[in-house]
A and B are shown apart, each in its own frame.
Chain A
Amino acid sequence: MILKIKLWLSQPVDIASLIAYRILFGLLMLWGLGRFWWNGWIERSFVEPTFFFSYYGFSWLPSPHSLNIYAIFVLGILASILVTLGLFYRLASVVLFLSFFYIEFIDLSNYLNHYYLLILLSFLNIFLPLNRNLSLDCKFLGLPSWNQTPFGTLFLLRSQVAFVYFFAGIAKVGSDWLWEAQPINLWMSAHADLPLLGPWLTKTVVHYFMAWGGFLFDSTIWIFLLLPLTRPWAFVVVVVFHFFTWLFFPIGLFPFIMVSCATLLHSPSWPRAFLGKFLSVSTIPNSVLSNSALLFFSLFLASQIALPLRHFIYPSPLLWTEEGMRFSWKVMVREKNGSVTFKVVDRKSGRTWLVEPSHYLARHQEMEMAGQADMIWQLAKHIEKDFAREGRTVAIYADTWVALNGRAAAQLLDPNLDLTKQKDSLAPKTWFLPPPTDSPERLVAEK
């Protein structure tokens, strides 16, 4: 059985789509890192903030204040160019992965699903033979060209792309998305003034169409892209779908990343029509996937199935507590806005302060933190240390109010819980108050 799998993954397929993917990926990373610089987000995200939220287990990462964050961006940008050109590819891929990983993991409040996808892809790219054709490594450094690649290399990337779509679809089952058309209803009602489309966007039937259409799209589009018969139409749907997400939502590179990645689900030879004359002709040496490579494949894919499903371990409602929310493609399922005030009580004198997060955080950090318990806890611990520097031992309570998908604001955390006495862990937290049980209020059509 294992041998059959290894042979199946080893069978040669055209390398052309992987080469096109490498070029698109490199350009997207170049664009992504470049616009961070261009838009002044480096200052706003890494220079101006005085506090950074850490990912669980990654608090050891050095602060951007202690490193030259601009140098890290320069490294990432250079590596993106080298990946695009296929020059010093392996080294460039490692540098690109490490620099982007650092940039995104240094502050939890910057978490975005598409950044996580780029981290995963840049990690996988290190191990894939994406420089085996149409690369400067082949042209100038004597790396043998391959016309084909083991199917496993394509399979790995295809699986990753399919997981994103599939789990994004599954995330919409049982949530406000399908049954209440929320938060689509909230988002679309704000676009009622758009020319031509505007009046349609206020109609309930359109909201439900978008909600169910989005669910069906996410859950199944990868299948239709893989089938030759449906592929052309499916790709048109992909482009149209992501065009509208780009039009309506401030989601940056995501539509472009997904359209580029969708090309991996096409026939491996699809770029021949464009790149054919540039691709060199040579054959891949016969070999069978090694056991270690198969183990790597298996572990990686298993992790990508387990992570999106881990929220089932947590008893509390996912959208309320967000335990198991990150790294699991829970895309577009919640509109959550919150307000947090920390009540800081001097244990000796009883003196009380009402501390606003804005004292420590940039506005985007504050808004991200407001609905996420682990981040609220991290800031509470930071405030505890801040007051300790002033010679005060304090207890800290959080007054947290959160509005989820159009419901009235409700308290997220127990306001009588001293956060300084709590410890963060991956275990389910007992800090939460029950979520609101009412259905979200629906916005009606604007005249």
Chain B
Amino acid sequence: MKFLFLLPLVFLSCGDFGNKGPKDYGQFGNSNIGLTKANKESLPPHLENPNAGDFTKEKMIFNLGRMQAQRARELQIKSQLFVMALEESCEAEDTKKAFRELILAFQSIAGVPFGPLQENEQKLFLDLYSWPSLNTCGIDREVVKFQQTKSAPSSLVYNLRGLAALEYLLFEPSLETVCNRRGYPETDVWSKKPAAEKTKDRCALALPLAQSLESSIQAHWQGWNPQENYYAKAMVDGSLGNLQTVLNLVSDSIFEIEKIKDKKLGKPLGLNRDCLDSKCIADIELKFSDLSLAAIFHNLQQVEQIILGSKRKEDKGFGIEDYLRSLGRADLADKTILAIETARKSAEALKQQSLTQLVSEADPVQCASTTKENRTVPICGLFQDVRYFSQLLKTELMTVMDLRPPRTIEADND
């Protein structure tokens, strides 16, 4: 298990930013992701320990950036571990475990994905994770093509690769294809192969996809790495605009909570307009690895950490709550912490369970009548908790922090 040698890096990454030199992975076209330019001037002394002394908006933003950089580093290490495990054996439980850790590390940064992930209209984000746009038929066609040509595809559209594609290749249990047999006869031939061969074929494509993913994740880390593009510094040195503009970039990312509410929970539960049937189990995120609720938990945990400015409530770090307090709105800070903590705890209580199973068992009428207070169906209670936080974000938090919705056109207050 040579990838075990990398484990110390995981622990190191929690304390400081390591630096890994650039590596040429270019396989599926990550050469031009256009990250913020390198920013190597020294850090102003008051930012060397941003959580010391009195609160300032600058310290808070730098601290939030630094925390995001740590997540980026952890993600990069997990991706290396996963690729090494995959190179050794595709079907081993250790490989699946490494993937689970990788996808959850990604979910820990995708809950509020500010930074390089959001640049260039989320190009890097989509390189890493294409759910809910994954094209499983397209992936199966690539599996067949790879078997025929034995050469890794030179370029693939975003919804045929990344973490979501890997989850499909490694965890999809039926080994059936959803492709139309007449439209894609090659997949029909492939589907008649024995299960062991089909697993092997999918594993074969998984490796180049994983290597490409590692390359994208490395590029993401380069964006945050203090020795390279140092995005956390760019957030406070004016490269991205004034501090209010950068705060707005962070808040735009907090709006990803809408995705949790609408796509990850609302739609499967049949509460959303996108699901006019009683339930939409097919649309559950990470349904093959059954990590849907764990993913939501990690998303919400990240939102909570952005609010708190630290990984745990007991630690001191400048976050959104400190900003609200500095504005004299301790009441709103407490309300916000309570809202996100409630949602995170609801997700934590359910994170070991299967969302597919919970949705299957939920009574639609009882689910629709579940409220924050009357939690008849716990998973629907989680939906209501997230909805309440979203409402707080759109109303009081937007107002008090003078935030704008993700920008489209000029404002109304002329």
Q: Which residues of A contact B (CB under 8 A)?
A: 39, 41, 44-45, 110-114, 186-187, 189-194, 249-252, 254, 331-332, 334-339, 341, 344, 350-356, 358-359, 362-364, 366-368, 370, 383, 386, 390, 392, 401-403, 405-406, 408-409, 441-444, 446-447
Known: A193-B58, A352-B368. A186 touches B410 (CB 8 A): no
Given A341-B387, A409-B396: A44 touches B408 (CB 8 Å cut-off): yes
Q: How far is the CB of B84 from chain A (nearest CB, A)?
A: 41
**B308: min CB distance to chain A, Å:** 19
Besides the known contacts A189-B327, A254-B414, 5 further A-B residue pairs in the complex with CB atoms under 8 A apart: A44-B409, A337-B396, A341-B387, A351-B364, A392-B276
With A250-B404, A356-B273, A403-B399 in contact, is A110–B409 under 8 Å at CB?
Answer: yes
How many A-B residue pairs lie within 8 Å, measured between CB atoms?
A: 154
- Nearest to A359 among chain B residues (CB) is B273
Q: Residue on B with the closest CB to A446?
A: B326
**B258 at interface (Cβ–Cβ under 8 A)?**
yes
Question: Could you tell me the distance in whole angstroms from the C-beta of B373 to the nearest C-beta in chain A?
Answer: 15
Q: CA A353 – CA B262 in complex, angstroms?
A: 11
State in angstroms the CA–CA spacing of A232 and B87 once bound together: 78
The answer, yes or no, to whether B329 is at the interface (CB within 8 Å) is yes
- Do A250 and B368 touch (CB < 8 A)? no
| The residue from B243, B272, B329, B414 contacting A331, defined by CB atoms under 8 A apart | B414
Q: Which residue of A lies closest to B365 (CB)?
A: A350
The answer to whether B387 touches A353 (Cβ under 8 A) is no
Interface string of B172-187 (1 = CB under 8 A from A): 0000000000000000
Could you tell me which residues of chain B, from 260 to 308, have a CB within 8 Å of some CB in chain A? 261-262, 266, 270-274, 276, 278
Q: A110-B409, A332-B413, A444-B328 are in contact. Are A354 and B272 (CB under 8 A)?
A: yes
Asked whether B395 lies within 8 Å of A402 as measured between CB atoms, the reply is yes
Interchain CA distance A408-B332 in the complex, whole Å: 9
Answer yes or no: B391 CB below 8 A from chain A CBs. yes
Tell me how far the C-beta of A416 lies from the nearest C-beta in chain B, rounded to whole angstroms.
Answer: 15
- How many Å from the CB of B260 to the closest CB on chain A? 12
Stretch from B49-57, B91-99, B109-117, B137-145 forming part of the interface with A: B49-57
How many Å from the CB of B374 to the closest CB on chain A?
14
Residues of A within 8 A of B271 (CB): 352-354
In the assembled complex, the Cα of A89 lies from the Cα of B253 at a distance in Å of: 48
| CB contact between B327 and one of A39, A41, A367, A443 (< 8 Å): that residue | A443
Closest residue on chain A to residue B269 by CB atoms: A354
**Does B349 sit at the interface, judged by CB under 8 A?**
no
Contact with A along B223-257 (1 / 0, CB 8 A): 00000000000000000001110000000000000
Rounded to whole angstroms, the CA-CA distance of A94 and B327 in the bound complex is 50
On whether the beta carbons of A368 and B272 are closer than 8 Å, the reply is: no
Q: Are B244 and A190 in contact (CB under 8 A)?
A: yes
B405: interface (CB < 8 Å): yes
Can you name 14 A-B pairs with beta carbons within 8 Å? A189-B327, A251-B411, A337-B395, A337-B398, A341-B387, A352-B271, A354-B271, A359-B273, A403-B398, A408-B396, A443-B400, A444-B327, A446-B56, A447-B54
Contact in complex: B400, A186 (CB < 8 Å): yes
Interface string of B302-322 (1 = CB under 8 A from A): 000000000000000000000
Give Cα A337 to B272, complex, Å: 23
Tell whether A401 pairs with B391 under 8 Å between CB atoms, given A354-B266, A447-B326: yes
Q: Are B410 and A337 interface neighbours, CB within 8 A?
A: no
Asked whether, in the complex, the Cβ of B244 is within 8 Å of the Cβ of A442, the reply is: no
How far in angstroms is the closest Cβ of chain B from A267? 28
Q: Mark B342-377, 1 if CB is under 8 A from A, else 0.
A: 000000000000000000000011001100000000
Interface assignment of B41: CB less than 8 Å from any CB of chain A? no
Q: Which A residues lie within 8 Å of B412 (CB)?
A: 111-112, 368
Q: Answer whether residue B390 sits at the interface, using C-beta atoms and an 8 A cutoff.
A: yes
- Whole-angstrom distance between the Cβ of A190 and the nearest chain B Cβ: 3
Report chain B residues within 8 Å CB of A363.
405-406, 408
CB-based contact B409/A339 at 8 Å: no
**Minimal Cβ-Cβ distance residue in A for B261:** A356
Q: What CA separation (Å) do A194 and B402 show in the bound complex?
A: 15
* Residues of chain A within 8 A of B331, CB atoms compared: 441
Question: In the complex, what residues of B have CB within 8 A of residue A354's CB?
Answer: 266, 271-272, 368, 387
Docked pose: A339 CA to B402 CA in angstroms: 16
Quote the shortest CB–CB distance from B56 to chain A (angstroms): 7
Bound-state Cα–Cα, A331 to B413, Å: 6
For B46, what are the chain A residues with a Cβ–Cβ distance below 8 Å? none
Q: Does B392 contact A (CB under 8 A)?
A: yes
Cα distance A366–B54 in the bound complex, in angstroms: 37
Asked if B394 contacts A339 (CB within 8 A), the reply is yes
| B401 contacts the other chain (CB 8 A) | yes
Which of B55, B392, B409 neighbours the largest number of chain A CB atoms within 10 Å of its CB? Answer: B409
Residue on A nearest B258 in the bound complex, by CB: A358
A112 close to B410 (CB less than 8 A): yes
CB distance from A252 to the nearest CB of B (A): 4
Q: B414 and A112: CB pair below 8 A? A: yes
CA distance A426 to B270 in the complex (A): 37
Distance (whole angstroms) from the CB of A357 to the closest CB of chain B: 10
Q: Is the CB of A338 within 8 A of B244?
A: no
Q: Return B269 CB to nearest CB of chain A, in Å.
A: 9
Closest CB in chain B relative to A236 CB, distance in Å: 22
Q: How far is the CA of A44 from the CA of B121 in the complex (A)?
A: 14
A193 to chain B, nearest CB (A): 4
Contact B409 A403 (CB under 8 A): no
B272 x A355 contact (CB < 8 A): yes
Which residues of chain B are near A408, meaning CB under 8 Å? Answer: 396
A-chain residues with CB within 8 Å of residue B411 when the two chains form the complex:
249-251
State A386–B273 Cα separation when bound (angstroms).
10
